[in-house]
A and B are shown apart, each in its own frame.
Chain A
Amino acid sequence: MAVTRPRIVAFLCNWCSYAGADLAGTTRIKYRADVRVIRVPCSGRVDPAFILKAFETGADAVLVGGCHPGDCHYVRGNLNARRRFLVLRHLLRYMGIEEERFQVAWCSAAEGAKWARLVNEVCEIAEKLGPLKGFKSIAGELATPEKEITLSGE
């Protein structure tokens, strides 16, 4: 079995960060494939429960991408979220989950390169910290084993 690679779950706001990630694509900027993206209308939609669930389901790190302050398509969704995220990072640390596992970034639709860099950085952070054991240890029955499939070869 291959070495387990880090698993990053990213919540991207539709207007800036998701578009930024699109731009990374259209400009063919390469980055690591260990990220899984969930599209949300605004970083203000991101609930702490999302992050908790992401960790529960095996994420080693979570990244939330929103518009830069002032650019929010919805005026101030990103600013409201910022308060929650600050608190959430404290909670994670206090509970014994390295706060670096939860990253927040402002990434505009023009910052394809920044998005690529972010993914790589967060992957490195996750690797440095190693797999998040805590939640796996309490998943009990719900710990789903890895599956393997092979390429069709076509």
Chain B
Amino acid sequence: MARIGVFVCWCGSNIASTVDVKAVADAAAKFPGVAHAVEYKYMCSDPGQAMIRQAIADKRLTGVVVAACSPRMHEPTFRRLALSAGLNPYFVEMANIREHCSWVHDDRPLATTKAIETVKMLVEKVRRASPLEPIRVPVTRKAMVVGGGIAGIQAALDIANAGVDVILVERSPSIGGHMAQLDETFPTLDCSQCILTPKMVDLAQHPRARIYTYAEVEEVKGFVGNFRVTVRQKAKTIDHAKCTACGVCIEKCPASVPSEFDCGLATRKAVYVPFPQAVPAKPVIDRGACLWFTKGRCKVCEKFCPAGAVSFADKDSLVEETVGAIVVATGFDLIDRGLYGEYGYGKLADCIDGLQFERMLSASGPTGGKLVKPTSGETPKTVVFVQCVGSRDDSKGLPYCSRVCCMYAAKHAMLFKHKVKDGRAYIFYIDIRAAGKGYEEFVKRAVDEDRVVYLRGRVSRMFEKDGCVIVKGADTLSGQQVEIKADLVVLATAITGSEGVRDLAGKLRIGFDQYGFLSEAHPKLRPVETNTPGVFLAGACQAPKDIPDTVSQAGAAASKVLGLLSSPELVREPLVASVDEAICIGCFACENTCPYGAVEHGLRKDAETGLEVEVAKVNPGICEGCGACVPVCRPKAMDLKGYSEEQIYSEINALSGRLNVKG
């Protein structure tokens, strides 16, 4: 027999001024199953809580309804209280008679009626409640980071430094990512590699870190605390255990292809190390370019390798790693300039993108840091930088701002001027967005000290004319059409999610938008979490970011991971779905509906036929408790704890029979 206690809160005058709290308590006292009903000034205050604790003991209450503010406010408070008083916390419900009643109604009788009926509903709900225990899931104290750019490196380092094992998976032959391609970084103009490479080395040598380069995530099974990730180690064809990184193979290799790292401004061999400071510094063979794999002859490298490290028999291998949490740091790509007919479809040789310009600037780059006009090799005198190429351009389907272009365009212009003292730099912009620490000052420097010319407007067309690129655009400030005869044009092309990220998102069951950026769980309050518990985001894979933001998000992701892995087991709210296997007919509508893959297959011996039939089972470690599976279960074998069929039925049922409160 239920013995429910109802505690009506005045919340000072917040509730009492509009709701007749005494009438509510009196009415509640008469509800079936209610053993005790009182009102008090502040239920959440110490005396208020003491009062409830006392009543639970004295009146041997089996359930508690606190009629006060929103459960989103104080439900945890009163559930904790119940626990401390020896009552299962899930026997506590809150009737929201403040936010949903006293604060939004003036009419005392009507507000009081609503309060009474609301209390009645929750009394009925509590009467049908069942005791629930927190779900405990053992946790594997190890993390995986996908992507070896600055975001991944930083996250991995932070995790490893905290004493937790970490595995980093990078698709290319070396970690480092885009940051390794950059020359100097805004707003301080310090050398990118000088600050990045030490981190790369730290990670490579870290006792708690393991790096898979030239590898990709093949499959992800399991769930938060225990992901089972299968990693595909692509065949390197060079045995790194034997390789001494002497470089002879590279020297001798006859096959050359455009270098990804140098953005096609230079070539690399089929057997290659992407860049001098690469980690690992040992080469792999690009089978797409290797003559042996494409034409079936050569094997020169094998002949010359002193260490006998070349193994053409090498195959892709699959490795399974169990980790408790995953950080996705897959970074970004630049959009294809081919989108822009008006800019020559990316076919103008003297028109390059920002990353190519970075390579050109870099001392270790294809030109050794010398700026050249690709067509002639001369030093460019006039350089036009164009911002928002793709970004903020609905006509190209990219409405968003790529966030870093304003800054790097300014940086590029400056660095150009530093190298070519008598050069002229023009920047076409729409707005200047320099909202970072020291950013505005940086742009100002470009204008004041380096005399960079800013033109507000879009470039309408550019085409090649006697060895130069003619750039036509509008200067919307002077209201004039401008035409510039440029030696070199640098396009700040828009940033999108990196290629292949959609597959990965599918494997991890996390969302992404149409531009390939991964979805955070909440844009403001859960910016590094995803909708899959245990999977976090760092860096440009979530949205365009500059290095400082990327590094801080990487740190945030790392701290989330460390928080998650800080205890040997995971404690989750027990408000999850569960299946009555005796009723389940195995149509698995629940499985198709569940956004988390929490429904698994089990076997049940059917009482009627004696056959072993497949039935649905909910993995409480994965279930998020949304209850989407219940309405699609026709026989109602599925139910949701805490919002059970019976509880909701009773709440609705409690409303039959109107109440009229007379003033």
Q: When A and B assemble into the complex, do they touch directly, with CB atoms less than 8 Å apart?
A: yes
Chain A positions within 8 Å of B, measured between CB atoms, are 1-2, 4-5, 7, 9, 14, 18-19, 21-22, 24-26, 28-42, 44-48, 50, 53-54, 56-59, 73-77, 80-81, 84, 116, 142, 144-152, 154
Complex interface: chain A residues within 8 A of B71 (CB): 39
B202 lies within 8 A of chain A by Cβ: no
Q: Are A75 and B627 in contact (CB under 8 A)?
A: no
A50's partner among B96, B106, B648, B658 (CB-CB below 8 A) is B648
B23 lies within 8 A of chain A by Cβ: yes
B640 lies within 8 A of chain A by Cβ: yes
- Write the nearest CB–CB distance from B659 to chain A, whole angstroms: 5
Asked if A24 meets B104 with Cβ closer than 8 Å, knowing A36-B117, A37-B96, the reply is yes
- Write the nearest CB–CB distance from B342 to chain A, whole angstroms: 33
Q: Are A148 and B660 in contact (CB under 8 A)?
A: yes
11 examples of A-B residue contacts, CB within 8 angstroms: A26-B103, A36-B121, A36-B655, A44-B593, A53-B653, A57-B656, A75-B531, A77-B627, A80-B593, A146-B657, A147-B659
Q: Are A58 and B625 in contact (CB under 8 A)?
A: no
Chain B positions within 8 Å of A, measured between CB atoms, are 20, 22-23, 26-27, 70-73, 96, 98-101, 103-114, 116-118, 121, 511, 531, 575, 593, 595, 624-628, 630-632, 640, 643, 645, 648-649, 651-653, 655-663
- Minimum CB distance partner of B513 in chain A: A70
A81 CA / B627 CA spacing, docked (Å): 11
Q: Are A149 and B107 in contact (CB under 8 A)?
A: no
Q: Are A59 and B100 in contact (CB under 8 A)?
A: no
Q: Are A26 and B99 in contact (CB under 8 A)?
A: yes
- Minimum CB distance partner of A47 in chain B: B631
A28 CA / B649 CA spacing, docked (Å): 31
Complex interface: chain B residues within 8 A of A14 (CB): 72
4 closest cross-chain pairs (CB), A and B: A25-B99, A144-B657, A45-B627, A74-B626
A48 CA / B630 CA spacing, docked (Å): 11
B595's partner among A2, A77, A81, A116 (CB-CB below 8 A) is A77
Q: Are A37 and B118 in contact (CB under 8 A)?
A: yes
Q: Are A74 and B662 in contact (CB under 8 A)?
A: no
Complex interface: chain B residues within 8 A of A81 (CB): 628, 631
Asked if A45 meets B658 with Cβ closer than 8 Å, knowing A22-B72, A152-B22, the reply is no
Asked if A74 meets B631 with Cβ closer than 8 Å, knowing A31-B104, A36-B114, A154-B22, the reply is no
A84's partner among B100, B108, B631 (CB-CB below 8 A) is B631
- Write the nearest CB–CB distance from B99 to chain A, whole angstroms: 3
A14 CA / B326 CA spacing, docked (Å): 28
Asked if A22 meets B100 with Cβ closer than 8 Å, knowing A53-B649, A74-B595, A151-B662, the reply is yes
Complex interface: chain B residues within 8 A of A75 (CB): 511, 531, 595
Residue of A1, A33, A56, A58 with most partner-chain B CB within 10 A: A33
A1 CA / B658 CA spacing, docked (Å): 12
Q: Are A46 and B631 in contact (CB under 8 A)?
A: yes
B631's partner among A21, A44, A116 (CB-CB below 8 A) is A44
B658's partner among A26, A35, A147 (CB-CB below 8 A) is A147
